[in-house]
Amino acid sequence: HLYDRYRAVASHRQAETGTPAGGDAEDGAPFHLATDRISDFIQENTNYFPTLEDAAERVRADIDNASDTFEAGLKTYLLNVFGLDWRLASLPSGIARKLEPAGNKLLVSDIMPPESAIFAAAHQLGLLAAVREIDGIIAEASLPEGDAPDLARNALAAYFAAALIMPYDPFCRMARDYRYDIERLARRFGASFEQVCHRLTTLQRPGLQGIPMHLVRTDIAGNISKRFSLSGIQIPRHSGACPRWNVYAAFLQPDRINIQISEMPSGEQYFCIARTITKGDYRHNAPRRHFAIGIGCAMIHAREMIYADGFDLTNSTHIVPIGVGCRICPRLECGQRAHPPANHRFRLDEMMRPESLYTMM
């Protein structure tokens, strides 16, 4: 894409001059480049890291032997192996956890949801228990200098945490048995809706695989903060995605599953579900952050998902034509265009006004 080429040029200029593309050291261009590279890095590895899966399995076995419950076993493991006393504490707003090596304490915010608190502790454990595996993956990734290695380390520690909380073999088999019922899996493994969606995209172990899925997370302003695709659907890097995607319609029905058969201009169809999530502290007047999570698969796998039950997959009226983004979408007749297509010249017809200014009949 042209935007990707622009970013590459910007990165080259920044490397040569030490100045971001816009000339302003505050404009954050290098950071955006790093986040793009991490998304590409995860995509290149199909979001499956076998060495982290193996490390998580070894640690999980010790945790399960330490106690009857995962949370208690995790506390025991942190204390016995790393000398860390994990406890809930009152931390400044916006801080999920804090490691205090001097006092041998791992403090986790006491106003987070339980599943988020456990994930925060498991994430810290990943930075300690899987440091060799994480360093090895980063060393082989040829990431650019700057923010990228640290962002990769954070992402890989989160991968370890998810693998620890939702071990591959039982999670994959249960996902198949439950027909990818996200809410049921979340209940079974003590995880959040978003955590389960993430984990479903990692099920790529040879011999025991899940459905190839895509995942996208957007905020209410349309900014895409997470993206990954094994289903084949194209997801834009940043904002400006197609407003017809059900991940945006999900905001109109908070906390409800929104189902859509999405058809790309190429004719490829995808079975997509979306739901909003809300993040924030468990306290009065705490600010809330609202997102929508979209996850789905190619239509060939649709009937494997419980969300297809009662939904007529053969009814053509259920198909919603979508695109990647207005500027590169060839659907000239679309009434929801926010921008004209880049490869067509805009012409004003004074005798007729289409429903959208940029609709081209």
Residue 133 confidence (pLDDT) above 80: yes
What are the domain boundaries of the chain?
193-324, 329-361
Instruction: Return d(Cα 196, Cα 162) in angstroms, integer.
Output: 8
- Interval 19-26 mean pLDDT: 40
Contact 217, 278 (CB under 8 A): no
Q: Which pLDDT does position 19 carry in this prediction?
A: 38
* Tens digit of each residue's pLDDT (9 = 90 or more) over 234-264: 998 766 789 999 999 999 999 999 999 999 9
Residue range 220-235, pLDDT digits in tens: 999 999 999 999 999 9
**CATH for the stretch 193-324:** 3.30.450
* CA–CA dist 58, 46 (Å, integer): 23
Q: List pLDDT tens digits, range 264-306.
A: 999 999 999 999 999 987 788 888 899 999 999 999 999 999 9
Quickly count: other Cβ atoms within 10 Å of residue 346's Cβ.
10
Between the ranges 17-21, 30-34, 148-152, 236-240, where is the mean pLDDT highest? 148-152
